[in-house]
Amino acid sequence: MTYSTQMEAAKAGIVTPEMEHVAQHEGIKPEILRDRVAAGTVAIPANHNHTALVPHGVGEGLRTKINVNLGISGDMRDYDCEMKKVDMALKYGAEAIMDLSNYGKTHDFRRALVKKSPAMIGTVPMYDAVGYLEKDLAHISAQDFLEVVRAHAEEGVDFVTIHAGLNRKAIDSFKRSGRKMNIVSRGGSLIYAWMEMTGNENPFFEHYDELLDILYEHDVTISLGDALRPGCLADASDAGQIGELIELGLLTTRAWERNVQVMIEGPGHMAMNEIAANMVMEKRLCHNAPFYVLGPLVTDIAPGYDHITSAIGGAIAAANGADFLCYVTPAEHLRLPSVEDVKEGVIASRIAAHAADIAKGIPGARDWDDRMAAARQRLDWPAMFDEAIDREKAEAYVATTKPTDPSTCTMCGAMCSVRTMNRAMNGKNVSLL
C-alpha cells in the first residue's frame, strides 16, 4: 500500500522509516509509536520534500521538544545573521525551527533553511502572504492565501501554523470579553483585520477541507494556531481563548479524518496557578492532540528576562502535559533576537523541557542528571563539562579563577563538602589548614 502521510501509514499498520527512527531515539517500541501516530496523540512532522530532515516525534510519552523562532523582518534584513541563528539553534539541540520571515520575497531564505536543517521546519504562511503575493492585505483573496500555503508545502516545510479557529463565532466571543491586550498573535491580528475589512469568514476556516488537501499531499502537519492566546495575565483563560480552543478541537477531528497530522498551539501569558488546568483542558477538548505552547510567560513585568519567565511557565506546562515548547529569548517584546539571545532562549527552554521530562517520568530522562551527579561526586571536572548543557560556559566559569586545590572550586575551596566526605568516608584525615 502507498501512503501520503505518517498518519495514513500508521492507520494501515505500517511502521515507516521515520517511525523507526523516532522510536529508536525515544527508546520505545515502533509499534507503540505507530499506534499513537494513528490515534493522533503523536505527530511526526516530516514533509516529503525535506530531504535533510532528521525526524522527531511530538506528543504522548515522548521527550518534550523545543522550537526556535527566527527570520527576516522589515527592519532587520541580515540573512547571514539569521543563518548564524540557525547554526546556534542546531548546536544547542533545538528539534524545530520556525521561519517567521515577514519581509519581501522570503522563499530563497526558506529554501536554503529547508536544504540545510536537520530540524523540522515550520512557518506561518499568513506572514508571507503580502510579500509573496505583492498585494495589500485587503486585496488578498481566500484562494490567494491557499496558494501561499501550497508554496510553503512544496518547498518542504514540515508544519504550518494556521489560525483556522478564529471564525465569526470566536470573534463575537472576543469582542464581548473586553480584553486588555486584544489579539497579540501576529497571524491572528492579520486574519482579524482581513475579516473586518472584507466582511468575509476566515478563509482557512471556510476552505478548511481544501487546505487539508494541500497538507495531505505533502504530509505537512497543521499546527492549529491560537489567535486568541492571552498576551497578558489579565486575558488568560477568558471566553475568547477557551471558545477558540473548542473550535480547534473540532478542526482536529476533521484533519484526522483526512489523515493530516495535528498539533494544537496554546498560551501565551498565564499565571502559574492556571497553567496545569489549561493543559488538562486542551487535552480534553482537543482529543489528546500534541500541545505546543509559547511559554507560558508567568509574569508581564520582566522585559529582558522573558526567557526566564517563559522557562518557569514552560516547565510547569510540560510537566502537566504540554509536548512542545516554543522558546522565548531575552529580547522578547523588545527587538529581533541576536545570535546570543537565541542561545539563551534555547538553553532556558531545554532546561524547562528536561526538568518536565523528569517530572513526567519519561524513560531515561534522569539518566543525564545521574551521570552529572556521579561526576560531581568524583570531583571529575572533565566529566562534568561533558554532561553540562552548555559546556563552553561551564568551562569558562571554572577557568576564570584558580582554587588552591584544583579539584575544588573557589566557592568552598578546602571546605568543599564533596572533598570532605570523599576523604572522611575513605578513612583519611580532613585538614582545612
Give dist(CA 182, CA 171) in Å, integer: 11
User: How far from the centroid of its chain's Cα atoms is residue 85's Cα?
Assistant: 16
* Burial label, 64 (beta-carbon count in 10 A; 0-12, 13-18, 19+): buried
- State the residue for C-alpha cell 543525564: 368
Give dist(CA 222, CA 236) in Å, integer: 24
Give dist(CA 369, CA 390) in Å, integer: 14
Binding residues for substrate, as ranges, are: 69, 98, 127, 163, 185-187, 226-229, 265, 292
Binding residues, as ranges, are: 69, 98, 127, 163, 185-187, 226-229, 265, 269, 292, 333, 409, 412, 416
- State the residue for C-alpha cell 476552505: 207
For residue 63, give the DSSP letter.
P
Give dist(CA 408, CA 415) in Å, integer: 9
Cα 10 to Cα 65, 177, 217: the distances in Å are 22, 42, 16
Give dist(CA 97, CA 44) in Å, integer: 15
- State the residue for C-alpha cell 478548511: 208
Residue 59: cis peptide before it, omega within 30 degrees of 0:
no
Give dist(CA 351, CA 361) in Å, integer: 15
Indicate the length of the chain as a whole number. Answer: 433
Give dist(CA 151, CA 123) in Å, integer: 11
Please provide the DSSP assignment of 209-227 as one string. HHHHHHHHHHTPEEEE--T
Binding residues for Zn(2+), as ranges, are: 269, 333
Beta-carbon contacts of residue 24 (< 8 Å; ≥ 6 apart): none
Cell of 120: 523540522
Give dist(CA 323, CA 57) in Å, integer: 10
Binding residues for [4Fe-4S] cluster, as ranges, are: 409, 412, 416
Please answer whether residues 344 and 310 qualify as being in contact, where contact means their C-beta atoms are separated by less than 8 angstroms: no
Beta bridge partners of 121: 97
Give dist(CA 263, CA 59) in Å, integer: 9
